Structure formats: structure tokens, C-alpha cells
Structure 1
Amino acid sequence: MGQKKRFLLRLDERLYEIVEKWSADELRSVNAQIEYLLTDAVKKAGRWKEDKGKSEQE
């Protein structure tokens, strides 16, 4: 994966606590968990486009 875009994300406190627990259960940071969930949702929605010469975006 290339450069990562940084941005501020505001979450409801309860939602953050749930994601925090979930990420700990899966041995990920909260940031990595959010990225994983978003990537999975984008792929399931059919919006993940493959780059030329790559089998899957990394």
C-alpha cells in the first residue's frame, strides 16, 4: 500500500468503545480495525477497483 491519507474522524463514544474492544479481540489497533472494516465494506459493495498490474489493491 502506498502513502496513507491522514484525517480526523469523530465517532460517538459508545461506537468507539465497541470498536476498541473489537480491535483488542482481533489483536489490531483501533485504526487498523477501522481500516479493515472500511476495506471489507468497500469490497462487499463492489466499489474496490483493481489497479492495472495488480491482482488486488494493497
Structure 2
Amino acid sequence: MSLAKKKAFALRLDPAVHAAIERLAAAELRSANAEIEMLLREALEARGISIAHSKPARRGRPPKGD
């Protein structure tokens, strides 16, 4: 199983910006982290930079072995 690993790093945000992201994320039913990623992808796309979406994580139980 080769799923792309997420890069973790610290991000310092103005509290007002963070609060706005949390409100937007709640309205979109996403986590704040996922909302930030979506906003970054939209900003990159608006500048003409396309980023391929990584393969989504598999959900549910793994298949039974033989």
C-alpha cells in the first residue's frame, strides 16, 4: 500500500485568521487543516499552478487474506 505521506510543519497564524478558517471549515464540514490545504490549492490554481491530488486513503477493513 503506497499512500502519500503528509508533510507536517508548524504554522503560525494570526488568531483572527485562524478563527475565520475554523468558521469556514465548520461550514464546509472539514477540519481546519483540510480547509487550509484547500485554500492553498485554490490559491495555487488561481496563479496557474496545478497540483495533482494524491490517492485518497482506503477506508474500512482490509481485505481478508487467503
Q: Distance in 1 between matches of 2:22 and 2:37?
A: 13
1:44 match:
46
TM-score by length of 1: 0.79
Higher helix fraction: Structure 1 or Structure 2? Answer: 1
Identity of aligned residues (%): 41
Partner of 2:12: 10
TM-score (norm 2): 0.71
Instruction: Work out which of the two has the higher radius of gyration on C-alpha atoms and give 1 or 2.
Output: 2
Alignment equivalent of 2:36, drawn from 34, 37, 41: 34
| Number of positions where the alignment pairs a residue of Structure 1 with one of Structure 2 | 51
Q: CA deviation at 1:47?
A: 1.8
The unaligned stretches of length 5 or more in structure 1 are 50-56
Deviation >6 Å, runs of 4+: none
One-letter amino acid of the counterpart of residue 10, structure 1: R
Unaligned runs of 5+ in 2: 54-66
Alignment correspondent of 1:53: none
Greater relative contact order, per chain length (Cα 8 Å cut-off, separation 6+): 2
Q: Secondary structure at the match of 1:10?
A: coil
Within the candidate set 3, 25, 29, 1:23 is matched to: 25
